[in-house]
Amino acid sequence: MGANSSRQNPSEILKSLDAIGQAHLSAGWNADTSAADKDRFFTQVKKLETAYPGGVKAYVENGRKLLADAKSGVNPLEGWTPGFPDGESLPFNSPEFVAKEALGLKELDGCSFVLVAGGLGERLGFSGIKVALPWQITSGETYLELYIRSILAMQSAASAAKGKPVTLPLAIMVSDDTASRTDELLKANGNYGMAPGQITLLKQEKVPCLSDNEARLALDPKDPYQILTKPHGHGDVHFLLHDSGTLSKWSASGVRWVYFFQDTNALAFKVLPATLGVSVEKKLQVNSVCVSRTAGESIGGLMRLTHKDGRGQTINVEYNQIDALLKATVSPEGDVADAATGYSPYPGSINQLLFALKPYAAMLKKTGGTMPEFVNPKYTDKTKTAFKSPTRLECMMQDYPKSLDASAAVGYTIVTGTTTFSPVKTNLADARVKSKEGMPTYSAASGEADAYISTSEMLMAAGVVMPPAPTVAMSGVKVALGARVVIDPSFGVGVEAWKAKLPTPSAIKMSNRSTLLLKGDLSGLTIEDLDLDGTLVVTCVPGAKVTLKKVRVSNSGWSFVSLGWSGKAEEALMIRGYQLSQSAQRELNFEKPGEYVVEDPEREGLLSKCEVM
């Protein structure tokens, strides 16, 4: 099969399939085979042809080579020796961090964003799309709304800095499972404020399954006129951006940077400005947002690999390969912590990537968007002649640097001393086990608690003194949970912007049992003096310029209540094991544009009340 096979007639398609060893696909056809069944088969083959660079023939050829390597036990890291990658580690709120953030803020007008969101939340116990999950239940806001509002906040900051309107585009990679539901969620919510055409949905197609070492395509056991297919992996995002013309369109509109992030890390944008600053200063083509990695942790490590033939590359090495590689090349101790820091000397890769668009687009044009692939067949026995079940080729987004030559500038950025990575990917039952073992749970409970901690860190960076968050058990999962602070991204982008909104931080106090929910358009909100012991909800419309000059709140507030070990509730709560109990709150609602100052008398405001202004 070839580039024009999607336009071939049925007999030509069968001949093309026969030529690459796939005659078995139609071997069972006979006079009783209906035209409708044949049409379904040919329609699927044409679709598979266009969904993979080079078509079905290239897929089969790549499969045979990778399966031969797997059978013979080829080690893809053979001949490579790891070293330390180039990059920068910035202590949060340090002068170095603030300087890089300021440099990066100047680049926001050239940013585009790519959300990889092709999966459902079934492994978590959530039947919907993961981006429809609430990232915390204080406001109930979904991940997708948080991400879009964060981008819009950066868009506003860039527009203000440039003195003209700026539009920051967003592409979302979806799949058969998530495409319609993502589209419906966006339409139902008016794109959460993004303009028509600002969001591009890129649908990932599946690839054929392979039934044996000869890369014979597997038929669906439930339908002999359909080839069995499975997802190819999130590395398809590169092909989709290129093949759809999205990168070309962005480049023509002045986009200079592409930021990739995944579907359930609420903290994905906290360090983006500083990461941009590092990319600008170091002239990086690829900048991996990384975290300090504990030795042995199930997170890939970024390494500068040097081959014995002189080649070099900076790539992510999967966590299950790190120890063996280090033992074979560097030290018999393998994957151990650095004595000075207590962490692995190899940064932890978290699949948040910042690319310089121009060289990225040029490379994809050269390669057609193809990505390095791997295959992971499960054999029935040691002879490696038969599979337990059909396998398929896979690719990963973070493997793009494997396509680059040794001269490409690839590095990393770590921001230490703050919470920047807390994905939600573990169901509650497994999270309880991990919690007992003292391991990171990466659960809905930890993701929510870390989001509150992260916002508190921003307040502290602005000078607010926050009480230490105690460790508590949330339905069997240990988390650090203090004040529940949720502040809409429109409040400000970057530490300096938050400092400007909090001019007298020493006058801001809140207890650990407090909830502070600031929502709406917060671009005009300033907080001068706040004493909070309970719950305060502030809502602002665009055009409302609000100063909380002196606000005193003391009420019974909101709290989290366990559902019990066998509780019954909606899925978004069941995956946490707790729900929100709203006892009392003070509400300040600014429903019309204008200037407002809230200044409580010494005793007024101590009771729960709702105020509309």
Strands 515-520 and 477-480: unpaired
pLDDT of residue 219: 97
Q: What is the pTM of this model?
A: 0.93
| Residue 204 DSSP symbol | P
Beta strand segments in 420-481, E: 471-474, 477-480
The distance in angstroms from the start CA to the end CA of the chain is: 68
Q: Which token pair is 515?
A: 């909830």
Query: Which regions in the chain score pLDDT beneath 50?
Result: 3, 604-610
Answer whether 414's CB lies under 8 Å from 88's CB.
Answer: yes
What is d(CA 133, CA 486) in angstroms, rounded to the nearest whole number? 16
Question: Which among 458, 359, 358 is positioned nearest to 417, based on CA atoms?
Answer: 458
pLDDT of residue 354: 98
Tell me which residue has tokens 């959300």: 115
Q: Longest C-alpha distance within the chain, in Å? A: 91
pLDDT of residue 567: 58
pLDDT of residue 525: 98
